[in-house]
Amino acid sequence: MGRVTPTAPTSTSPLAPHIWQRARGLLLAAALLAVAGVTLAALRSTEHTAPLDPRSASPDGSKALAQLLTDRGVHTTVLTDSSALHRQTGPDTTLLVPFPNSLTERQRTAVRKAAEDSGRTVLLAPDTRTTSALTPGIRTFAALPTAPTPPDCDLAAARRAGGADLGGHRYSTTGPAEKCYPRSGRATLLRLHSPSRGDTVLLGTADPLRNEHLDQHGNASLALQLLGPHPQLLWYLPSDSERVPSDDGERGFFDLLPGGWSWAAVQLALAALLAALWRARRLGPLVTERLPVAVPAAETTEGRSRLYRKANDRGHAADALRTACRGRLALLAGVPRAQAHDREILVPALAARVVHRASPEPGEPAYDEARIRSLLFGSSPANDTALLHLAGELDRLEELFAPAGSQQHRRRADKDITP
């Protein structure tokens, strides 16, 4: 038994260097995306950018206020679970609810129970629905733009702070309360008294607590006095996992998605776009390619003629016959190749050299200039019969110019001596 030799790899066999060359760009892009994702996740895990977050140093954050409270002996605790509110509230605590309007029914119930035990509860910009649920008897009016506003009340904290950036929602009540910083006759700061529990403060806007506004007017003084009467400050910021559907409504599809899904979708779209640009076909100039086999001219002509026949394209078929015939006749008549398809040069040259037969067939016109022009530069045949007649006429025209001894000349001579 002879030894079997291994088959040599063909040009299409994938080799390790080729695979690496094709895949290294994609692997590099995937590595860059992974590094970027890990870096962003690490930065987001150590840096808080949420609005009114006491850990956030962004313009919308409240880290500066939390630091000032710490310097004055007030310990700030961020709570993200509503179940922890009731356990940690007490007479020596202040409960701050920055976003009361976004609470679910279960969370509002937890805040209401915690407010009964806390020394003070501060609600930032509560709307009509929130005030009716947490502070019944309060009327809420349309919000106004924030602007420097004088206190215009007897509340000690407001008088010490002086003018502050107030506005937003406005409130009124018929019960005992201190109404400060009025705008259009309605208070933007309302302090409610309760004989059985701590007081409740409604602030029409959260701007005095933000980092970017804290050093303006009396904002810092007002915020410190409202949030610092007790040594413990509970800052309630519900987490995404606690955002469950409320009892009076249903959640949509996007409410069920975890936080940050939009950034993930943008990153995936960007990665897909980069991959598409990397793998896109790059169009360049046309290049010639060597055919693996030689195709005989007869087969090419037959294939093209079948395509013309299938498409009923007699015009292109007639043009192909006439173009080939003009090239051969120009060579026989001594016309330059560059002028072979110029009717004003080729037709007169052929008419001047045509050889008339001694005894033309009855009814057959002579090959004068008009007939030669019609054969070589005429209109397209109307049907297949006309196309076949044109092919025969072109053959007979070439026979007139065939040199002596050629196959066409012998065929012409045989026709002339046939009885």
Q: What is the CATH number of the domain that holds 136?
A: 3.40.50
Q: How confident is the model at residue 369 (pLDDT cuts 50, 70, 90)?
A: confident
Overall average pLDDT of the 171-185 stretch: 90
Query: Which parts of 9-119 are beta strand (E)?
Result: 75-79, 93-97
Domain-embedded: residue 49:
no
Lowest mean pLDDT among 6-10, 133-137, 176-180, 181-185: 6-10
The strand pair at 75-79 and 232-236 is best described as: parallel
Rounded Cα–Cα distance for residues 169 and 187 (Å): 9
User: Residue 188 has what pLDDT?
Assistant: 93
Give the pLDDT band of residue 231 (cuts 50, 70, 90).
Answer: very high
Instruction: Say if residue 4's pLDDT is above 50.
Output: no
Residue 58 lies in a domain: no
Distance between CA atoms of residues 166 and 143, nearest Å:
11
Could you tell me the pLDDT band of residue 225, with boundaries at 50, 70 and 90? very high
pLDDT for position 378: 87
Exposed/middle/buried for residue 348 (C-beta within 10 Å: 0-12, 13-18, 19+): middle
Beta carbons within 8 Å of 411's beta carbon, 6+ residues apart: 399
Identify the domain containing residue 350 by its residue range. 297-357+364-417
Judge if 87 and 210 occupy the same domain: yes
Q: How many structural domains is the chain composed of? A: 2
pLDDT score of 352: 82
pLDDT of residue 302: 82
Residues 96 and 223 in one domain: yes
The residue among 198, 219, 242 that closes a domain is 242
Q: Tokens 């007490």 label which residue? A: 90
> Among 242, 258, 274, which residue terminates a domain?
242
Q: Which of 242, 258, 288 is the last residue of a domain?
A: 242
Cα separation, 392 vs 168, whole angstroms: 98
In a domain, residue 160? The reply is yes
pLDDT band at 357 (very low <50, low <70, confident <90, very high): very low
Residue 292 lies in a domain: no
Confidence of residue 258 (pLDDT cuts 50, 70, 90): low
State whether 132 and 203 are in the same domain. yes
| 106 and 236 co-located in one domain | yes
pLDDT at 226: 92
Looking up tokens 């006095």 gives 225
Cα–Cα distance list, 14 to 20, 39, 116, 275, 364 (Å): 10, 36, 75, 21, 69
- Residue of 239 and 409 predicted with greater confidence: 239
Q: Which whole number is the average pLDDT over 294-308?
A: 80
Res 233: pLDDT: 93
The distance from CA 414 to its chain's CA centroid, rounded to whole angstroms, is 78
- Torsion angles phi and psi, residue 218, rounded to 5: -105, 25
Distance of CA 254 to the CA centre of its chain: 19
Instruction: State yes or no: pLDDT of 9 exceeds 60.
Output: no
CB 140 within 8 A of CB 182: no
Q: Which among 349, 361, 358 has a CA at the least distance from the CA of 393? A: 361
Of residues 290 and 12, the one with the higher pLDDT is: 290
Determine the pLDDT at residue 374. Answer: 87
Cα end-to-end span (Å), the chain: 73
Greater model confidence, 261 or 151: 151
CB atoms within 10 A of CB 329: 23
Are 238 and 304 members of one domain? no
> Exposed, middle or buried: residue 320 (CB in 10 Å: 0-12, 13-18, 19+)?
middle
**Following DSSP, what letter does each residue of 225-277 receive, concatenated?**
HHH-SSSEEEEE---GGG-PPPTT----TGGGSPTTHHHHHHHHHHHHHHHHH
pLDDT at 247: 41
> Do residue 234 and residue 302 come from a single domain?
no
Tell whether 321 is covered by a domain: yes
**Co-location of 80 and 198 in the same domain:** yes
For residues 303 and 193, state if they share a domain: no
Which percentage of the chain shows pLDDT scores above 90? 25
212 and 129 in a common domain: yes
For the four alpha carbons of 236, 237, 238 and 239, in that order, the dihedral sign comes to negative
Q: Which of 178-182, 239-243, 325-329 has the highest mean pLDDT?
A: 178-182
More confident residue, 297 or 171: 171
By mean pLDDT, which of 4-13, 68-77, 158-167, 278-287 is the weakest?
Answer: 4-13
What is the model's pLDDT at position 361?
53
Residue 170 lies in a domain: yes
- Provide the pLDDT confidence category of residue 48 given band limits of 50, 70 and 90: low
How does pLDDT run across 67-87, given as a tens digit for each residue?
A: 999 999 999 999 988 888 888
Q: Distance between CA 90 and CA 232 in Å, rounded?
A: 9
91 shares a domain with 216:
yes
Rounded to whole angstroms, how far apart are CA atoms 414 and 303? 32
180 and 328 in a single domain? The answer is no
Q: Please list the alpha-helical segments (H only) found in 153-242.
A: 156-161, 219-227
In whole numbers, what is the pLDDT of the chain averaged over residues?
A: 80
Q: What is the CA radius of gyration of the chain?
A: 48
Query: Is residue 127 a contact partner of residue 96, using CB atoms and an 8 Å limit?
Result: no
How high is the pLDDT of residue 220? 92
Please answer whether residues 121 and 146 qualify as being in contact, where contact means their C-beta atoms are separated by less than 8 angstroms.
no
Residue 371 lies in a domain: yes
pLDDT at 42 > cutoff 50: yes
Judgement on whether residues 69 and 218 belong to the same structural domain of the protein: yes
Report pLDDT digits (tens) over 14-37: 567 777 777 777 788 888 878 887
The confidence score (pLDDT) of residue 364 equals 56
pLDDT of residue 337: 84
User: Is 134 part of any domain?
Assistant: yes
Give the up-direction half-sphere exposure of residue 112: CA atoms within 13 A in the CB hemisphere. Answer: 14
Which of 3-17, 164-178, 238-252 has the highest mean predicted lDDT (pLDDT)?
164-178
